[in-house]
Amino acid sequence: MTEISLDAKGQIRLDILTQWALEAEVAGHPVPEHVDLQVIAHTKIVAIEGAGAALVQLWEPTISWMLKQAGFGVIDPFRHLPEELLKPVSHATLPAAVVPVELAPSAVVPDSGPGGKAPNAAPATKTPKWETAAREQVRDAIKRYMKPLEALRARDANEGDTRLVVTDILCEGLDYDKFRDLTTEYMVRQDFADYGVRIDKQLVAFIEVKRISQKLNERHLRQVQMYAVNEGIEWMVLTNGSVWQAYHLTGGLPVIVNMAFEIDLLGPASLEEKSELMFLLHREALKRRRIDESWKHRAATEPKALLELILSEVMLEQIRKEVKRRTGITTTQEALSEVIRTEIVDPKLMAKIYKN
C-alpha cells in the first residue's frame, strides 16, 4: 500500500490511534492494522475497504470518540476512554456481516441485507444527554443571534446595547439563569466587572463586555485579569458580542494567563466550529470543566513551550544523534541550538519570548 502523506493534525490523529492500538493489543484485543489506522487518520472517517473493514467496524464507537476528542484538542484521549469503549462492540449487537472471520464462530456465515448489501454498521457512541442538549442549544443560539449581531455591528451599537445581546446569548444559548448565575456590575475593589458568573453559588468566572465594534486587546485583558486575581478566579471571558475570548489564569508570582480559545460568531468559521468552541462556555460544560483540557493543550503547544522543548538538552541530544545517523557528521548541542535559534525560528518569535 502507498504511504499516506498526513498533515500535522493527521499525524496527531495517527499517533493517538497507534498508541491506543498498542494498549488495546496488550489488553488482549484484536486491533486494526496500522495501514487501516493511517487511512482513518487521513480521512477522519471510521470506515475502510478491504480485509480489515470488519475489525474497524467493531471499534467504530471507540475510534470515533477518540477522533472527536482529538479534534477538541484533548491530549492522549485513549487514556480517558469510557469503560464501555475499552473493548470492541459485542458481537451480539452486530449483524453477522461485520464480525471478523478470525473472531466469528466457524459455523457463522455472513448474511447480506436487502439487495445483497451488508446491514448497517454498529451503533454510534452514546453521548451524554446533557451534552447533546447543550450542543443543540448552543448551535441554535448561534444561528438565531447572527442577524441581531450583524445589526448591532451595522449601526455601531454602544456597549450597553451590545451587553443586552450578550446577556441573551448567555441565558438562551449558554443556559445561564440571569438571576441565579449572573451578577452584573460585580464589584471588585471599588471597580466593577460586567458579569460575575456563579455555578452552584460558587464564583467561577468574570465576563467583560465591549461594544461590538471594539477590537479586544491586551488592555481589556489586563482589566478583567485584575478582577480575577483579586477574587482568586481562574476563568476570564472577553467579548464584544461577536468575538469571544476565553482565558485561564494560574495564580503565582507572576500569574500565568493562557488563551483557551477565540471564536468570531460573525467570522468565516463553520457553524460546527463555532458551536464546538462556544459549547465550552455552556453552563453545564463549564460546570464539568470541559474547557480545562482545551487550555492545557493550548498552553502545552504554544510557540514558547514548544521552542523550549526543542532546545532542551534531551531533544538536542536526540537531534544530534539523528544528524550523526543520517549524515555521519558529528556536531554539538550548542551548534544545533545556535542554528535553530538564528536560522530556523522566526526572529520575531525569539524577540517576543526573550522580551517576556
- Grid cell listed for 51: 480485509
CA atoms 4, 8, 13, 19: torsion sign: positive
234 compared with 302, residue with greater pLDDT: 234
Q: What is the mean pLDDT of residues 301-318?
A: 90
pLDDT at 119: 45
Residue 98 clears pLDDT 60, i.e. is over it: no
Spatial distance between the Cα atoms of 203 and 283, rounded to a whole number of angstroms: 12
Comparing 42-46, 90-94, 271-275, 278-282, the range with the smallest average pLDDT is 90-94
78 compared with 325, residue with greater pLDDT: 325
Q: What is the identity of the amino acid at 72?
A: F
Q: What is the identity of the amino acid at 25?
A: E
pLDDT tens sequence across 191-213: 788 899 999 888 999 999 999 99
The string of DSSP codes covering 32-101 is --HHHHHHHHHH--S---STTHHHHHHTHHHHHHHHHHHHHT-SSGGGG--GGGSSPPPGGGS-GGGS-T
pLDDT at 190: 61
pLDDT at 96: 42
Q: What is the mean pLDDT of the chain?
A: 84
CA dist list (Å): 57 to 34, 47, 98, 132 = 15, 7, 7, 24
The string of DSSP codes covering 275-329 is HHHHGGGSHHHHHTTTHHHHHHHHHHTSHHHHHHHHTSHHHHHHHHHHHHHHH--
Spatial distance between the Cα atoms of 66 and 70, rounded to a whole number of angstroms: 6
Residue 281 clears pLDDT 60, i.e. is over it: yes
How many beta carbons lie within 10 A of that of residue 236, not counting itself? 26
pLDDT at 298: 79
Residue 84 clears pLDDT 60, i.e. is over it: yes
- pTM of the complete model: 0.59
Spatial distance between the Cα atoms of 226 and 233, rounded to a whole number of angstroms: 10
Residue 291 contacts by C-beta under 8 Å, 6 or more apart in sequence? Answer: 235, 246, 248, 260, 280, 281, 285
Backbone angles phi, psi at 260, to 5 degrees: -80, -40
- Grid cell listed for 129: 444527554
- Grid cell listed for 293: 483540557
Cell match 514558547: residue? 304
Q: What is the mean pLDDT of residues 266-276?
A: 95
pLDDT tens sequence across 136-184: 999 999 999 999 999 999 999 999 999 999 999 999 999 999 899 998 8
